[in-house]
Amino acid sequence: MKKRISLALLTFSVISALLPVASATSATHPVTNSSCSTKGQVVVYANKKYTCVLSNKKLVWSAGVKVSALPTTTTTSLDSTTTIVNQASVYTAMMTKPHQPVGQNGGKDDYRCFLIDPKFVMDAYVTSVQFVPQQRAFVHHALFWTVGASSIPTYKKLDDNGNGWSCFGGVTTDSSTADIASTLAGWAPGRPIDVWPAGYGTRVNKGDQIVMQVHYNLLAALGGTVPADLSKVLITAVPAALNSLQPLFGESFAAPVELSCPPGVTATLCDRSKALADLAARTGSKAANVEGQLLMLCGQDFLKPVASLTSTCDKRIGQSETVIQAGAHMHLTGTRLQLILNPGTSRQQMLLDSNPFDFDNQAPVTLPKPVPLKAGDVVRIVCTYNPGLHLLVPQLQQLPWRYVIWGDGSSDEMCLGSLRVTRP
């Protein structure tokens, strides 16, 4: 169904992509008699078919049964430390032209989207994704969405023959009605490869293409030059016709951010209204409006926001599901992020406590044991910040003090949490 993506919904789709797809430490293939989640699931690996069966009242993977007429199994080595095991195909999609990151209106960030084509030759399930940034030191994060055939012409026009398009606040222009088919993956520091657990995958269709959003952080140059970038993504996928995988879904959580300058600090941008105008100039009005949207979504007064070192918001779960993974994302002054199930009740449970939050290690966490959620359950996100880190982080030392709110820039902040779940 084609519809214009509202800013609030777009915000949460971005969250879902940025945060976990799967833990890089998860099992990469079925092992006979190891646990599985859904009876009847089928996974084909290394020319053998494994089925999730009930044995001694437990769901386990069966012994592998050899099958024929499968694509050849190969192993692709990406560098001395990384290997992708390919049971079907590794698809490569990359930028067609180098991009020279440039900030706008004095900003130090560049959000650039590109339409890239992995040339999927069949309907398939994605089982791992690896982003390979050519200029890793300057990439803050990257996000990926699949695009169906009907919307590809719209994105080709935006892509401008491989030059890409500016996409602060989302992947489409305000006037675009093209659909993003589905969230595929996201990359942030500390996430070399996203590997789906055995028995899980994300469906892609033959001919689908990908919108890749790259956030370039020009502050990382520390006054020097930023080189042009030609990045790519490697996608491992197995044939849908031979595999019955369980999809993972995203539950996203966000809270508004209101950080005033520390006591005694005076600067032009310590005034919230001036800081908001500066944010709009650097990232565009659409991106700058997200903070107001979040204040309203979280039941706070967007006309009279209250500055605080802690950001929080409650979200009610809409249907029964089971949590498999959790992840956190903040920027350079974030120190802790928590996701709390049913806070203040007898059923309170900590789903994630990223303490201390480490911007350079944002790999998602696989829960020790899946946690069931019921419709009506509440998950609270709580983020804690230390604006004093402005004095300690070299990237922030280059900038004047400011009132910090939710924003796309590396010197702005975010409070993002996500759960990856299975559903009945």
Has residue 397 been placed in a domain? Answer: yes
CA distance to 28, 136, 217, 399, per residue, from 223 (Å): 42, 17, 12, 11
148 plus 192 within the same structural domain = yes
> Would you put residue 101 in left (φ > 0), alpha (ψ -120 to 50) or beta?
beta
Question: Phi/psi at 366 (nearest 5 deg)?
Answer: -90, 125
* One-letter amino acid of 179: D
Question: What is the token pair recorded at 83?
Answer: 């290997």
Q: What are phi and psi of 37, to 5 degrees?
A: -110, -30
Q: Is residue 58 part of a domain?
A: no
Q: State whether 332 and 198 are in the same domain.
A: no
Question: Residue 8 falls within a domain, yes or no?
Answer: no
Residues of the domain holding 304: 250-422
The answer on 132 and 203 residing in a single domain is: yes
pTM: 0.75
Tokens of 276: 């908001």
Q: Of the candidates 227, 246, 265, which is a domain's last residue?
A: 246
Query: What pLDDT is stored for residue 47 in this prediction?
Result: 63
Contact 237, 91 (CB under 8 A): yes
What are the E-state strand segments in 148-284? 165-166, 182-187, 194-195, 200-204, 209-217, 232-239, 246-247, 249-254, 258-259
Q: Supply the Cα-derived Rg of the chain in whole angstroms.
A: 22
Same domain assignment for residues 267 and 412: yes
| Cα(139)–Cα(218) distance, integer angstroms | 9
Q: Is the dihedral of CA 144, 404, 327, 84 positive or negative?
A: positive
> Which pLDDT score, from 0 to 100, does residue 205 have?
93
Picking from 226, 246, 266, the residue at the C-terminal end of a domain is: 246
Q: List pLDDT tens digits, range 115-127.
A: 999 999 899 999 9
pLDDT at 3: 35
* The residue type at 357: F
Spans of the chain, pLDDT less than 70? 1-29, 45-47, 67-88, 172-182
Quick: pLDDT tens for 326-355. Answer: 999 999 999 999 999 999 999 999 999 999
Q: Are 171 and 211 in contact (CB under 8 A)?
A: yes
**Contact criterion met (CB below 8 Å) for 337 and 354:** yes
Indicate whether 240 and 106 sit together in one domain: yes
Rounded distance between C-alpha atoms, residue 395 and residue 340, angstroms: 31
Judge whether 416 and 254 are in contact, CB under 8 Å.
yes
Domain check: are 270 and 209 in the same one? no
Kindly state whether residues 224 and 261 are assigned to the same domain.
no
Would you state the pLDDT for residue 88? 61
Q: Are residues 241 and 254 in the same domain?
A: no
- What's 143's domain CATH number? 2.60.120.310
Q: How many domains does the chain have?
A: 2
